[in-house]
């Protein structure tokens, strides 16, 4: 099997470090409900996990919850409620959406607020190595001391600084030795949650949370790390720098897998822009299987532009496939069915080419429609289950 690796910009053969395969995917910051960008990302990694399991591998999958971060705190303050209360509400909605889409839950589902001791320990290690420094109660990582910092992002220094600005990491922070340095610990601010630390009251930075959780649950080196394409820089590049420095081994991750963003109204779908379509609204209309079909009908590395009419058309195509499943499933598949099966698995082996795999299921459904072959019907059901369709 080959996966496109953002680090190498090539399709690399998957050769796990050991058994089980280790996979870490950056989770949600729970201050709103699950828009299609989130749904697409977590469906892709669900399909990846299912396919690895189909190939006979075992998988340890970690997905975190960023339940302390700027957007969540700002939203909770604007609503006048506790940030953990807001997070709990939207985590519940998120998990319900994933259940409706038949997503397998991760092996571990840690929350950043429950990992503070480990985060502090990681920061202390970086300070001891002189790769981090304390200034006015905050702690910063010396990014430019890490060889090749930001290499995976392939951005110029100016582009990296602009990306930092867009994610709330101010290059103009007067505490920084270098504008590219990033926060590991934030000194206490008014109306924000805080924890005790060796540097005073404060809270963790965004990047250090994931490095700490990945190391705790999966070890210093992992097989697959993923998330949305917007996380390549600064988040994932900063994780690489922190993790490889703190653990003293590299590479931190063998395969970096990033899912292209969902767009709507000509812009990236995002909470800040307000241009969102929600899984919880579409599932009652079309069903979880139809939503899964729509989201994997476009290759995960291609931008998906959402239009309601496309969702409706995809749901109709799904109904056409699922309709032929009614009937006997006894017997062996035909030679034509086996050829279609081989096309399906060749596509899945080639960087999870789900659009081509779905075309194979449509061809197989048409074969069953023409021949009423019980063996081909059974084969169709098994291929759809590899892709995670519930078929209820």
Q: How does pLDDT run across 362-389, given as a tens digit for each residue?
A: 999 999 999 999 999 999 999 999 999 9
* Whole-number pLDDT of residue 190: 94
Would you state the pLDDT for residue 60?
A: 98
Which superfamily is assigned to 17-263 in CATH? HUPs (3.40.50.620)
What pLDDT shows up at residue 191?
94
User: How many other CB atoms are there within 10 angstroms of residue 110's CB atom?
Assistant: 22
Closest listed residue to residue 111, CA positions, set 119, 103, 123: 119
Task: Tell which residue, 158, 159, 157, 179, has the closest CA to residue 169.
Answer: 179
Compute and round to an integer the Cα radius of gyration of the chain: 22
Question: Which residues have a Cβ under 8 Å from the Cβ of 366 and sit 6 or more positions away?
Answer: none
Q: What is the tens place of the pLDDT at every residue in 307-319?
A: 999 999 999 999 9
pLDDT for 72: 93
Structural tokens at position 80: 């006048």
Predicted TM-score (pTM) of this structure: 0.96
Q: Residue ranges per domain, the chain? A: 17-263, 324-386
Q: What is the DSSP string of 118-149?
A: HHHHHHHHHHHTTSEEEETTEEEE-GGGSTTT
The SS3 of residue 332 is coil
Assess contact for 232 and 6: CB atoms under 8 A.
Answer: yes
Question: Helices marked H in the chain — which ranges?
Answer: 36-54, 70-79, 83-100, 116-128, 157-166, 206-218, 237-247, 279-286, 288-296, 308-323, 335-349, 354-371, 374-386
Beta-strand runs (E) in 167-265: 182-187, 202-204, 222-228, 253-259, 262-264
pLDDT of residue 392: 73
Q: State how far the Cα of 29 lies from the Cα of 46, in Å rounded to an integer.
A: 19
Tokens read off for 255 = 């395969």
CA-to-CA distance for 236 and 257, rounded, in angstroms?
11
CA gap 237, 234 in Å, rounded: 5
83-103 per-residue burial string, b: 16 or more CB within 10 A, e: under 16: bbebbeebbebbbebbebbbb
- Cis ω on the peptide bond leading into residue 246 (within 30° of 0)? no
Query: Which 8-state DSSP code applies to residue 93?
Result: H
For 129-158, the pLDDT digits (tens) are: 999 999 999 999 999 999 999 999 999 999
Indicate the fold that domain 324-386 takes in CATH: 1.20.120
In sequence order, the 6+-apart residues with CB closer than 8 A to the CB of 8 are none
Residue ranges in the chain whose pLDDT is less than 50: none
Distance CA 1, CA 14 (A): 6
Residue that is written with structure tokens 């429950």 in the block: 114
H or E element, residue 61: strand 59-63
The residue count of the chain comes to 392
- Residue 275's SS3 state is coil
């Amino acid at each position: 099997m080959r996966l496109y690796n953002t680090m190498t910009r090539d399709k690399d053969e998957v050769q796990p470090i050991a058994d089980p395969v280790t996979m870490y995917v950056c989770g949600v910051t729970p201050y709103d409900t699950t828009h299609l960008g989130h749904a697409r990302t977590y469906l892709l990694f669900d399909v990846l996990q299912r396919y690895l399991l189909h190939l006979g591998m075992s998988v340890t999958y970690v997905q975190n919850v960023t339940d302390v971060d700027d957007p969540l705190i700002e939203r909770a303050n604007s609503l006048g409620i506790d940030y953990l209360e807001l997070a709990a509400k939207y985590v519940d909605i998120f998990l319900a959406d994933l259940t409706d889409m038949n997503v397998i839950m991760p092996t571990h589902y840690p929350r950043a607020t429950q990992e503070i001791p480990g985060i502090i320990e990681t920061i202390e290690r970086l300070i001891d190595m002189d790769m981090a420094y304390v200034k006015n109660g905050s702690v910063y990582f010396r990014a430019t001391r890490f060889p090749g910092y930001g290499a995976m992002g392939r951005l110029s220094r100016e582009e990296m600084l602009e990306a930092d600005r867009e994610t709330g990491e101010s290059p103009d922070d007067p505490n920084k030795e270098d504008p590219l340095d990033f926060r590991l610990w934030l000194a206490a601010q008014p109306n924000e949650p805080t924890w005790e630390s060796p540097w005073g009251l404060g809270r963790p930075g965004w990047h250090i949370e994931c490095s700490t959780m990945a190391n705790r649950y999966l070890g210093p080196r992992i097989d697959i790390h993923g998330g949305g394409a917007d996380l390549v820089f600064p988040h994932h590049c900063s994780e690489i720098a922190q993790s490889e420095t703190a653990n003293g081994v590299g590479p931190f991750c063998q395969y970096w897998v990033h899912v292209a963003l969902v767009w709507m109204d000509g812009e990236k779908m995002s909470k800040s822009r307000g241009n969102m379509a929600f899984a919880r609204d579409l599932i009652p209309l079309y069903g979880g299987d139809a939503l899964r079909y729509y989201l994997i009908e476009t290759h995960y590395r291609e931008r998906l532009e959402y239009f309601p009419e496309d969702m409706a058309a995809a749901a109709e195509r799904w109904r056409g496939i699922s309709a032929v499943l009614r009937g006997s499933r006894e017997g062996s598949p035909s030679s034509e069915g086996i050829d279609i099966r081989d096309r399906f698995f060749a596509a899945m082996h080639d960087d999870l080419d789900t659009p081509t795999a779905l075309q194979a299921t449509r061809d197989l459904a048409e074969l069953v429609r023409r021949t009423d072959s019980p063996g081909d019907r059974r084969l169709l059901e098994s291929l759809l289950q590899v892709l995670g369709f519930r078929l209820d």
